Amino acid sequence: MPENAIVTEALTKNFGHFTAVDALDVSVPKGELFGLLGPNGAGKTTTVRMLCTLIEPTQGTANIVGYDIRERAAEVRRQIGVVSDGVSLYKDLTIEENLKLLATLYEIPRPKAEVRIRELMDMFAFREKATRLVGALSTGWAKKALICAALLHSPQVLFLDEVTSGLDPQSAIALQDFTKKQCEQGVTVIWTTHYMGEPEKICDRVGIMFAGRLVQVGTPNELKRRVSELSVVEVETPALSEAQLDKLKSRLKELAQVYHVKYADPRLEVSCERTDSLAEEVASALLRVGARIRAINTKDPTLEEAFIAFTGGEEEIDRFMESAGQKT
Amino acid sequence: MSARGFFNDSMAVARNEYRQFIRNRSAILISLVVLPLFFTVSLGAGQGGAGTTFSPTAHIPIAWVDEDNTLASYRFWQSLSTSPDFRDLIQGYTEQGALAQLGTKRIYAVIVVPNGFQNDLDTGTQARIILYTDDSEPGVSDQIQATLTTYTQNFNPEVQVQPYETELQRQSVAGVAIVAKGATFAGFNIGLTTVLAIVQIFAGFYEIAGGISKEREDGTYARLLVSPISIGSIMLGKTLFDVVLTIIRTFTVLGISVYGYGARPNTDILTLLALSLIVSLITMGLGFVVASLKLGQRAVVIIEFFLILFLFAFSGLIIDSNLLVGVSQVISNLLPFSYAFDALKRTVLLGRPLPTLTFDLEYMIGSIVLLYAIAFVVLHFSRERLIT
């Protein structure tokens, strides 16, 4: 059985009466790329901040490579690298100057630090931008600079919190590939995101967080299998009006538990509980509201659809987002 | 963490502060040029305008030396001591004994009634009294002299107690002239004491409280907190860099004051530097405490202006702290800045050696230790609040 890099037990964080993270139990083996998936306000960043020792848990415990985050915080900090929205580099310094500062703080001997900085600058093709101030870098390059800083001291655990937000698709893909390589070299990565497609592509396992709770953990395929009771009906039905769509939603609710209805002319997607004659019933409902049907078929759910099902449906997510917005 | 690691981290923070500073033109301009120039030039233009004529004399301890010992000198004593303006006239001093006490803050002036006082009055010649004042307290000296002048003009040796005379009586009184004696300071010595302190307070407070606030807003404070550096190292690193800026500012202010406005401080450069650093360290300690309040940079600037106004009122910058009454004096006595301004006056104006100001030094150093200890504790416990 592989050794765990991260173990949390009943890890909880309250901000006043608001529970941001609620009794989180999770174990992440060394070298795993673990995705934390959830909407904004689900508790992902708070979880990362607790594990990074930036904030103290209200209850529960967590260990990072064997060190308790409360009792051995300084040791934990030596073992982790963090890329998160609130953790930045000095804008008035060059990337190299930032890295030199961090090398001193991580007590990396100067010759070794110089080699490592050169290595990272080459790895991220920073050589030409070595003399540019971090504040003058584009979003993509600034993000790469943050990753360089997080990797400088060769951490055993890397926290990448919403790391692809603001990146162009090519940079995001390059970053995903790079992260996979890090895991192959034994680094444990926690990858948090609210983009549903990302963990499906790169993560070994995914934890779905919702309202501070970890509602499901498994490989992307396992999660999808667990929602095998879920069906997605795809229909090509052009020029559906708002009124038709509203009528359709209420008719569908009479037929089965509907989690999600998405319409982008001409494509309609209905995620709902699997029933024997689902496609026929959706087609019949569409015809009743006067819609034209060009094609119809059923398919297996994606991780996004699974996420919606696990979190109690679209309306539940909307309610949560609203209340999370009020609390923040 | 080892002591060496702690110090290395602090030096790394100090170097980092330096690198950021030299790339920030507005910071260089404000910290090293605008603040020292603005304060020194604006006060210098008034040639020691830091003083003020407002100074009630009622509770100022003043030594009374009567060498005439006549009825007239007794009446003069009586008219002063029963008046509402001189309630703390102290008898029993010899002239030499009283002069030795000037500058120690036990007494602020000496009034000597010389031999022949009554005789001069009797013969219709102008009688003299001699007034020595503690010139390190310009407001106090001026006020004593001004008030005393009123009493000499109104003095009637024929009247036993006569604080409020009629116009008729005043005309019949023979004149009494005051011969004022005391050290004469170069024009800008008094201004120098004020500027030296104010510049360090203005700059030091913003550099620390505003600096941490900026780091917090930029996310670099969180960057430091996820690394193994301790809060103590961050504080020491920032302090070390600010000490360098303090030294530069001290020389700038001193240069302009001496070469531009003719200040001639009665003390050596090391004393001035030491006092500048003490003022700066007190300010930095306060800055670290304020930094833990999770304020934005704008709020720090607002607090800074309130702090300066507060110090103008309570720390002896304009109104001597000994002249304050009630709660104001309690506040003044608690403020470490009051002792710093006092020490600056004692050294720059009167030339007293810094080590002899034992209580001032003890209070200031104690305050620095206390403020840094409080700052360390509150920053430690504000860790979470400052990054969320």
CA distance A105 to A95: 15
Task: Give chain A's length.
Answer: 328
Query: Between helices B231-255 and B35-45, what is the axis angle to 10°?
Result: 40
Taking CB atoms and an 8 Å cutoff, what residues of chain B touch A104?
Answer: 8-9, 11-12
Lay out the sheet containing A18-29: strands in order across.
Answer: A18-29, A4-15, A59-64, A67-68
Looking at per-residue pLDDT, the higher value among B163 and B199 belongs to B199
| B210, two tokens | 């505003």
Give the closest-approach CA distance of A92 to chain B in angstroms: 6
Give the per-residue pLDDT at B51: 34
User: Of the candidates B9, B11, B226, which has its C-beta nearest A82's C-beta?
Assistant: B226
Neighbouring residues of B150: CB distance < 8 A, sequence distance ≥ 6: none
CA distance A300 to A234: 11
Give the closest-approach CA distance of B24 to chain A in angstroms: 8
pLDDT at B157 over 70: no
DSSP at B345: I
| A228, two tokens | 């095998």
DSSP at B108: S
Does A107 sit within 8 Å of B8, measured CB to CB?
Answer: yes
Taking CB atoms and an 8 Å cutoff, what residues of chain A touch B229?
Answer: 105
Q: Is A152 on the interface with B (CB under 8 A)?
A: no
Q: Please give the C-alpha separations between residue B144 and each of A66, B190, B294, in angstroms, as whole numbers.
A: 75, 18, 47
**Under 8 Å between Cβ of B121 and B157:** yes
CA distance A34 to B47: 71
| A166, two tokens | 């603001």
**Under 8 Å between Cβ of A28 and A190:** yes
Neighbour count for residue A267 (Cβ, 10 Å): 14
Distance of CA A172 to the CA centre of its chain: 13
Give the per-residue pLDDT at A284: 86
Q: pLDDT tens digit string along A110-136?
A: 999 999 999 888 888 887 787 889 999
Q: pLDDT tens digit string along A222-255?
A: 777 666 666 778 888 888 888 888 888 888 777 7
SS3 B295: coil
CA distance A100 to A153: 11
Does A77 sit within 8 Å of B8, measured CB to CB?
Answer: no
Q: pLDDT tens digit string along B2-23?
A: 888 888 889 999 999 998 888 8
Does A102 sit within 8 Å of B384, measured CB to CB?
Answer: no
In degrees and rounded to multiples of 5, residue A63 shows phi and psi of -120, 135
**Concatenated DSSP letters of A13-50:** EEETTEEEEEEEEEEEETT-EEEEE--TTSSHHHHHHH
Q: List, in order of start, the domains of chain A with CATH numbers.
A: 4-219 (3.40.50.300), 228-300 (3.30.70.100)
Give the per-residue pLDDT at B368: 96
| B64, two tokens | 């009374």
pLDDT at B148 over 60: yes
User: Of the candidates A54, A74, A92, which has its C-beta nearest B23's C-beta?
Assistant: A92
- CA angle centred on A311, ends A309 and A317, rounded to 5°: 110
Q: pLDDT tens digit string along B50-103?
A: 333 333 577 788 999 998 888 888 888 888 888 777 888 888 888 888 888 877
> What is the topology classification, in CATH, of domain B62-181?
abc type-2 transporter like fold (3.40.1710)
Q: pLDDT tens digit string along A253-286?
A: 777 667 677 788 888 888 777 666 778 888 888 8
Q: Is A89 on the interface with B (CB under 8 A)?
A: yes
Query: Between helices A169-184 and A139-151, what is the axis angle to 10°?
Result: 10
Q: Which of B115, B149, B131 is nearest to B62 (CA)?
A: B131
**Under 8 Å between Cβ of A86 and B221:** no
Beta-sheet pairing, B62-66 with A258-264: unpaired
CA distance B307 to B367: 17
**Structure confidence at residue B44 as a pLDDT band (50, 70, 90):** low
Taking CB atoms and an 8 Å cutoff, what residues of chain B touch A148?
Answer: none
In chain B, what percentage of residues exceed pLDDT 90? 30
Give the per-residue pLDDT at B262: 76
Taking CB atoms and an 8 Å cutoff, what residues of chain A touch B228?
Answer: 74, 77-78, 105-107
* Helix (H) or strand (E) run with residue B218 in it: helix B211-218
CA distance B158 to B74: 11
Distance of CA A126 to the CA centre of its chain: 27
Say what the ipTM of the complex is.
0.75
Task: Give the mean model confidence (pLDDT) for residues A202-211.
Answer: 88
DSSP at A78: H
* Chain A, chain B: beta-carbon pairs less than 8 Å apart: 80
Taking CB atoms and an 8 Å cutoff, what residues of chain B touch A92?
Answer: 19-20, 23-24
Mean pLDDT in chain B?
Answer: 81
| A257, two tokens | 């538990």
Task: Give the mean model confidence (pLDDT) for residues A78-88.
Answer: 91
Q: Is A105 on the interface with B (CB under 8 A)?
A: yes
Give the per-residue pLDDT at B160: 40
Give the per-residue pLDDT at A160: 92
Looking at per-residue pLDDT, the higher value among A48 and B118 belongs to A48
Residue in A closest to B22 by C-alpha:
A92
Helices and strands in chain B, H and E counts: 19, 5
**Under 8 Å between Cβ of A123 and A152:** no
Task: Give the mean model confidence (pLDDT) for residues A182-201.
Answer: 86
Cα within 13 Å of Cα(A314), Cβ side: 12
| B40, two tokens | 């020194």
Give the closest-approach CA distance of B380 to chain A in angstroms: 11
Mutation choice for A interface testing from B1, B16, B233 by most A CBs within 10 A: B16
User: Of the candidates A55, A102, A106, which has its C-beta nearest B384's C-beta?
Assistant: A55
Q: What sign does the CA torsion over A212, A218, A219, A224 have?
A: negative
Task: Report chain B residues touching chain A, CB-CB < 8 A.
Answer: 1, 5, 8-9, 11-12, 15-16, 19-20, 23-24, 218-220, 222-230, 383-384, 387-388
CA distance B165 to B177: 19
Does B388 sit within 8 Å of A49, measured CB to CB?
Answer: yes
Q: Which of B72, B27, B18 is nearest to B237 (CA)?
A: B18
Classify B326 in phi/psi space as left (phi over 0), alpha (psi -120 to 50) or beta. left
Residue in A closest to B385 by C-alpha:
A55
Q: pLDDT tens digit string along B262-310?
A: 788 888 999 999 999 999 999 999 999 999 888 888 888 888 888 888 8
User: Of the candidates B224, B226, B228, which has its C-beta nearest A52's C-beta?
Assistant: B226
Give the per-residue pLDDT at A319: 62
CA distance B142 to B145: 5
Cα within 13 Å of Cα(A153), Cβ side: 26
Lowest mean pLDDT among A5-19, A78-92, B26-40, B204-218: B26-40
Asked, as a colleague might, if the bond just before A266 is cis with ω within 30 of 0, I would say yes
User: Of the candidates A49, A55, A105, which has its C-beta nearest B227's C-beta?
Assistant: A105
Does A149 sit within 8 Å of B228, measured CB to CB?
Answer: no
Beta-sheet pairing, A295-299 with A230-236: antiparallel
Q: How far apart are the first and last CA of chain B?
A: 26
pLDDT at A196 over 70: yes
- The CA-based dihedral angle spanning residues B360, B363, B366, B368, taken in that order and rounded to the nearest 10 degrees: -70
pLDDT at B220 over 50: yes
SS3 B306: helix
pLDDT at B146 over 80: no
Taking CB atoms and an 8 Å cutoff, what residues of chain A touch B11?
Answer: 104
Task: Give the mean model confidence (pLDDT) for residues B124-148.
Answer: 76
Taking CB atoms and an 8 Å cutoff, what residues of chain A touch B15?
Answer: 101
pLDDT at A144 over 80: yes
Residue in A closest to B12 by C-alpha:
A101
Give the per-residue pLDDT at B240: 96
SS3 B284: helix
Task: Give the mean model confidence (pLDDT) for residues A161-174.
Answer: 81
Q: Parse chain B into domains and list their residue ranges.
A: 3-48+188-387, 62-181
User: Of the candidates A78, A84, A104, which has its C-beta nearest B8's C-beta?
Assistant: A104
CA distance B137 to A63: 64
Give the per-residue pLDDT at B288: 94
Q: Which of B228, B50, B285, B38 is nearest to A155 (CA)?
A: B228
Give the per-residue pLDDT at A156: 94
